[in-house]
Amino acid sequence: MKSPDLVTIADVARHAGVAVSTVSYVLSGKRVISEVTRTRVLASVQALGYHPNAGARALASRRANVIALVLPLRSGMQVPVVMQFAMAVVTTARTVDHDVLLVTSDEGPAGLRRIAASAMVDGLLLMDVELNDSRVPLLRELGRPSVLIGLPADADGLTCVDLDFHGAGRVCVEHLAGLGHRRIALLGAPAAVYDRGTGFAHRTRAGVVDTAARLGVDAVVRPCEEGTAAVRRELVELLQRWPDLSGLVVQNEAAVGPVLATLPTLGRRVPEDVSVVGICPDQFAEQASPRLTSVPVPAEEVGRQAVALLVRKVHGEPVPGSTLLQPRLTMRDSTAPHR
């Protein structure tokens, strides 16, 4: 008997006593086949150990069953969080029989054009989206199925999915203001992230500033570099400028631990003297000490939705333009009423 890897659809047809086209219809479901014939074909498939060739399926459908995840690795990115998004994309893609081609080079539109021009992928997922992303005009020009994990300033004609980061900033300020805090600060991503115009950072900052102005709360926004020394420097400067600062919003996963550890060394207990809210995945918040009140970044849900939207576009199905997941705040041990 042949090795299963060498068994062809013609072998199955001979074994079952039917035409090759009949076997193809049974396996693809493209035509109705009588239950007797279908059972005989499937029995032959099992007996011979036949596995449809992935390459042949791709040629027949003119699809590669591969999606490209364009994830340029840039300065200031929080790699552990980015990898949560990537893993969600990969695991979801496997559930719909797609593989993922991970593209990490920062080639901008030229790299995107190169990937889209090949027959290697059926569609594109883009991450680290900037407000004025140079890749966006090319996406409209190419006409290839694509989904952005992020929201550019002009999303017209695009399919985007992300957390509503403006809303996340709003929810954090509303929570602190509701506890009586009138002077707060946002410790944000590293400066390089703001300088690139990365959407999530700017939208969060706008949400904090807009909501603070609406509620009569004094707020300042400071980029924050990675490392305990950089965090300490920012906190010292903030407390020197505003000795009565009593609320912090942290949107920098690498800074969460150093912030909570440094504040007590500066004479500020958490939450008795300073309440701290994070915008970060739940695992960072749960592992912090004290446990961090937070608005979670739903990496898994965003990844799942992005893949589902892209697969629908690949199959020519209509999809919504922008999908923004609503922020939800989970109160833990790091926030308390202002004394």
Helices marked H in 179-276: 191-195, 199-215, 228-241, 253-265
As a whole number, mean pLDDT of residues 106-120 equals 80
Judge whether residue 274 has pLDDT over 90.
yes
Confidence of residue 5 (pLDDT cuts 50, 70, 90): low
DSSP for 45-79, written as a single string:
HHHHT----HHHHHHHHT--SEEEEE----TT--H
What value does the mean pLDDT of the chain take?
89
Judge whether residue 298 has pLDDT over 50.
yes
Q: At 244, give phi and psi (nearest 5°).
A: -95, 15
As a whole number, mean pLDDT of residues 183-195 equals 96
281: exposed, middle or buried (Cβ count in 10 Å: 0-12, 13-18, 19+): buried
Reference 163, options 152, 172, 146, 150; nearest CA is: 150
Tokens of 229: 């020394």
Tokens of 160: 């985007």
Q: How many CA atoms lie within 13 A of 124 on its CB side?
A: 28
Task: Please work out, in degrees rounded to the nearest 5, the angle formed at the alpha carbon of residue 88 by the alpha carbons of 97 and 52.
Answer: 10
Which of 3-12, 91-100, 316-325 is predicted least confidently? Answer: 3-12
Q: Is 110:134 a contact under the CB 8 Å cutoff?
A: no
Q: What is the pLDDT of residue 30?
A: 58
As a whole number, mean pLDDT of residues 63-79 equals 84
Judge whether residue 56 has pLDDT over 50.
no
Amino acid 116 reads A
Residues recorded for the chain: 339
Tokens 């239950």 found at: 35
Judge whether residue 58 has pLDDT over 50.
no
